[in-house]
Chain A
Amino acid sequence: MPDETSAEQVPIVGYLQLGDDPHLRANECTACGARYFDRRNACAKCGGTGFSDARVADAAVLKAYSIVHNAAPGIPVPYVSAIVETEDGTSVRSNVVGLDDPMTAELGMRVEFTTYVCGTDDDGTECVAFGYAPA
């Protein structure tokens, strides 16, 4: 959870909800239940155009990962890129955070949603990102 500081904070992406209870939100198709993190025109699964706003579960399982050693300038390496599946069945891409040794990442490991400050802009605004830490 982000520190309670005076700095203004913005989420790194719109589907990250900050505040006292940070979590992810998704656009959920009212016809078929498919979930999306981006702005939608229609549902890629069923073509429906109705969406509701849904909360995504915090607990997840690591389904796929890669330990990235070669990245664009400015990105600290190595980091563990991951595809997790939340306990309500939503796939999310992020990093596994909080591992002392990236090689200890293990397929099937249980992880939990968390947030942290990943940068500050020239106005002093903090950017809050999310990741998944071993549960």
Chain B
Amino acid sequence: MSGDSVWVLGANMTRFARYPELDALDLASQACLDAFADGGVGIHDMDILAAGTLFQPNGFGQRLQKQIGQTGIPVYNVTNACATGATAIRVAYLSIKAGEAEMGLAVGVEQMGKMGLLAGKSRSERKVYEASGRYDAVTSIDGILGTETMPGVFAQAGTGYAYENDGVGFEQFAKVAYKNHLHSTLNPLAQYQKEFSLEQIMGSPVQSYPNTTLMCCPTGDGAAAVVLISGERLRSMPEEAQRRAVKISASVLTSDPWVESGQVQPDVNTLTRNAAAQAYETAGVGPEDLDLVELHDCFATAELVHYDNLGLCERGGAGDFIDSGAPFRDGRIPVNVSGGLISKGHPIGATGVANVYEITTHLRGEAGDRQIEGAKVGLAHVIGLGSACGIHILEKAA
């Protein structure tokens, strides 16, 4: 794509946690105001606002504006499954690319409380069988014709990979969770910061085998925001702002193309492979150039297949990849040094923005105890079932 370059000027995220005393407007406002402060700008500098949330009622972006500044700029309300936050960033990105905006604000937020993601829809009260819907189903099919629960669907993505490839089993999936819990102990913004042994992870209650409780992301609350700026406008900013700015070398969004099994099991692989290929091509980098990756580990089984989908390992080699220690923070390609969704948390709308915040913070050299030293290039990946995949590749200012 032509057009000016696009940069992250300011970034912030709230700690992911449970905030029963706050609402989603409080959380989003806090992330936006802190992202402004981080970038040395304010709402009057923004030409566009993109607000991502899955569970807030319609018009959330406009209600947010009424808390942080009503300037009359275009507001886009974004919903795109677990890729909601990444899509919000991409909306602001495209507006700058198109030359309509010089600066834009993208925010993602969710307040989930303790709502469960584990169980599917409960069965209806109706006691008379009557065919309805596009499958003429007479009752809820969840649990009868397979599972509709998220841990189960992603477990099947993992066991499907294990069927096609050698060296992948319960222990490899558990190691993913071991790594991410371990990483989270260095991240003060993570919802949980506790190390668990492999035995504790494999022995915790099974949700959907092979995913145990400690291999599933928690629900939670939080927000993250980024201020994006055009390359031209950035050159008029103070030297310090230019030094801390991080370049978006690729912003990609894909959906799932047709595959034979797609009508019965969401395909999380093909759209991620397609997005990764486009992102590497656009950025002119390859997986070997990445200093860190934040990828969508909603469940341990998901992270493992994405090693392969993102090209971090050889095709079919995700089991060896985790066994070799490569994705640990001292390994060849550190993955989810934030603790990932499994331990950092997954307030859905915020997740895709928080991943970009995490990469940005490392590229700036400001990640504190969890800093990956000398990081220059990073990749942020999210995927939502349905399906939507967002990838951003970020590079440190030259």
Q: Which residues of A contact B (CB under 8 A)?
A: 10-15, 34, 36-39, 44-45, 63-76, 78-79, 81-83, 85, 89-95, 102-103, 107-108, 118-119, 121-123, 125, 127, 129-130
Stretch at the interface among B60-68, B95-103, B135-143: B135-143
**Which A residues touch B263, using CB under 8 A?**
36-38, 44, 91
Whether B160 contacts A64 by the Cβ 8 Å rule is: yes
Interface size class of B (residues with CB under 8 A): 35 or more
Which of B82-90, B118-126, B237-245, B275-283 forms part of the interface with chain A? B118-126
For A37, the chain B residues whose CB sits under 8 A away are: 135, 263-264
Question: B261 an interface residue at 8 Å Cβ cutoff?
Answer: yes
* Contact B139 A74, beta carbon cutoff 8 Å: no
* A67 and B129 in contact, given A15-B135, A127-B138 (Cβ under 8 angstroms): no
State which of A39, A65, A72 has its C-beta within 8 Å of the C-beta of B119.
A72
- Determine whether the beta carbon of B265 is less than 8 Å from that of A83: yes
Distance A73 CA – B207 CA, assembled complex (angstroms):
14
A11 to B141, CA, bound (A): 11
Chain B residues, CB < 8 A from A72? 119-123, 140, 142-143, 149
CB < 8 Å A-B pair total:
170
- 1/0 contact string of B289-331 vs chain A (CB within 8 Å): 0000000000000000000000000000000000000000000
A44 near B145 with CB under 8 A, answer no
6 A-B pairs with least C-beta separation: A14-B136, A75-B143, A64-B160, A66-B155, A91-B261, A81-B147
Instruction: Tell yes or no: B127 within 8 A of A by CB.
Output: yes
Tell me whether A74 and B123 are in contact (CB under 8 A).
yes
Asked, given contacts A66-B152, A91-B263, A123-B128, whether A44 binds B141 with beta carbons under 8 Å apart, the answer is: no
Given contacts A75-B142, A93-B146, contact A67 B264 (CB under 8 A): no
Q: Is the pair B258, A44 in contact by a Cβ cutoff of 8 Å?
A: yes
Docked complex Cα distance between A73 and B141 (Å): 13
- Report the minimal beta-carbon distance from A99 to chain B, rounded to whole angstroms: 13
> Contact at B145–A66, with CB atoms within 8 Å?
no
| Shortest CB distance A52–B (Å) | 17
> Which residues of the other chain, B, contact A129 by a CB distance below 8 angstroms?
144-145
Is B157 located at the chain interface by the 8 A CB criterion?
A: yes
In the complex, chain B residues whose CB is within 8 Å of the CB of A123: 128-129
Q: Give, as a whole number of angstroms, the nearest-CB distance from A69 to chain B.
A: 4
